């Protein structure tokens, strides 16, 4: 577990001392998070350190984002992402405004640039859950307030941060851990590869032929891994991929927007199902992970997702804490923590 990042003076004032967090707070204030690749390894570590601290000591942050306004504009359905962002800012003194874009995708009614120029005048942060990743990058390019990727067809950075926070809780560190992802080389896979590499984990990705992760992301992840003394492997055999794994992760085989491929994908992904036989090849201490929602009986069996090895609901809980840490850093909230002690 990460060490405490607050020291309490005799007068009761909480003071941040961790150099990673201080540096990240200075660097990230006002910045966007479109991709995990936007962050340095030290910034990823800082977000997770702060996430652990916020989880242990939530009361210290209850006024950190007083009067801050955040808009959530979602083109896709959501449970964990919406509620964790809303609860996160609300419990730190701010406010969330939800705009349902499922019937009217961003850029359809007016240009994304014009939307950005309006929003920046009313709110302090824009959180987007979209289909096209270009929607997020275009919003960020035209907005003077931070834009956060809450899921696109290319990445899901907030999910990956929560996932590796959960790994740190269970293993103490992600460094040198053997992390295996089995399934579609999708947006979640991309962010997991990048985050694992940033934290020094050995990442193995097993996908069917033709469903590998994007080569650009693979290249970036491997460059990061080389700098951090770990590796990123791509395989097409799930049996080999999970051998000795400390964490086995899967996701749905048909992501939102690809429902028309369900019939085609079903037989292709059947050998990649995470079941008891596959988990038996992993390390004895292995945990099972899934970003949820899960299609039980497809990419994972009930016996695995409901087993003692499963930490899927810990992952879901940590969406709240990792995102609170992210909000604090992007919105400069740490400056307010001491004020209200």
Instruction: Tell me which residue of 255, 174, 228, 197 sits closest to 36, measured CA to CA.
Output: 197
Rounded Cα–Cα distance for residues 107 and 5 (Å):
41
203, 192 contact by CB (below 8 A) = yes
Give me the catalytic one of 45, 52, 133, 156: 156
Catalytic site includes residue 129: yes
DSSP string, 253-272: SS-TT-GGGHHHHHHHHGGG
Give me the catalytic one of 158, 251, 273, 323: 251
Give me the catalytic one of 290, 319, 321, 323: 319
Catalytic site includes residue 236: no
Catalytic site includes residue 291: yes
Give me the catalytic one of 82, 129, 133, 222: 129
Mark out the alpha helices in the chain (DSSP H runs). Answer: 19-28, 41-56, 80-90, 112-119, 133-142, 157-171, 187-198, 215-227, 238-241, 262-269, 276-279, 302-305, 312-330
CB atoms within 10 A of CB 160: 25
Catalytic site includes residue 251: yes
Rounded Cα–Cα distance for residues 8 and 179 (Å):
36
Give me the catalytic one of 101, 291, 315, 323: 291
Catalytic site includes residue 156: yes
How far does CA 167 lie from the centroid of its chain?
12
Give me the catalytic one of 101, 159, 273, 315: 159
Catalytic site includes residue 295: no
Rounded Cα–Cα distance for residues 172 and 55 (Å):
15
- Annotated catalytic sites, by residue? 129, 156, 159, 251, 291, 319
């Amino acid at each position: 577990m990460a060490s405490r990042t607050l020291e309490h003076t005799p007068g009761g004032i909480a003071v941040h001392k961790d150099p990673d967090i201080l540096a990240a707070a200075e660097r990230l204030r006002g910045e966007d998070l479109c991709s995990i690749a936007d962050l340095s390894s030290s910034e990823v570590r800082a977000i997770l350190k702060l996430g652990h601290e916020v989880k242990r000591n939530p009361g210290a942050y209850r006024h950190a984002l007083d009067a801050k306004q955040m808009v959530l504009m979602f083109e896709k359905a959501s449970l964990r992402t919406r509620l964790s962002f809303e609860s996160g800012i609300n419990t730190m003194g701010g406010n969330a405004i939800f705009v349902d874009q499922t019937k009217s995708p961003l850029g359809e009614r007016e240009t994304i640039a014009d939307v950005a120029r309006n929003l920046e005048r009313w709110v302090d942060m824009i959180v987007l859950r979209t289909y096209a990743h270009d929607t997020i990058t275009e919003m960020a390019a035209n907005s003077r307030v931070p834009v956060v990727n809450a899921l696109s067809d290319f990445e899901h950075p907030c999910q990956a941060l929560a996932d590796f926070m959960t790994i740190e809780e269970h293993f103490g560190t992600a460094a040198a851990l053997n992390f295996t992802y089995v399934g579609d080389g999708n947006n979640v896979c991309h962010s997991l590869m990048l985050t694992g590499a940033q934290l020094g984990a050995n990442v193995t990705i097993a996908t069917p032929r033709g469903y590998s992760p994007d080569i650009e992301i693979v290249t970036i992840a491997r460059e990061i891994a080389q700098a951090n003394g770990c590796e990123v492997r791509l395989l097409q055999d799930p049996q080999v991929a999970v051998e000795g794994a400390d964490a086995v992760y899967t996701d749905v085989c048909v992501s939102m927007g690809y429902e028309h491929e369900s019939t085609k994908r079903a037989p292709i992904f059947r050998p990649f199902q995470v079941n008891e036989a596959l988990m038996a090849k992993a390390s004895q201490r292995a945990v099972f992970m899934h970003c949820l929602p899960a299609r039980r009986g497809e990419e994972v069996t009930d016996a695995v997702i409901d087993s003692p090895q499963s930490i899927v609901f810990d992952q879901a809980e940590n969406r709240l804490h990792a995102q609170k840490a992210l909000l604090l850093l992007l919105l400069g909230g740490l400056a307010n923590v001491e004020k209200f002690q």
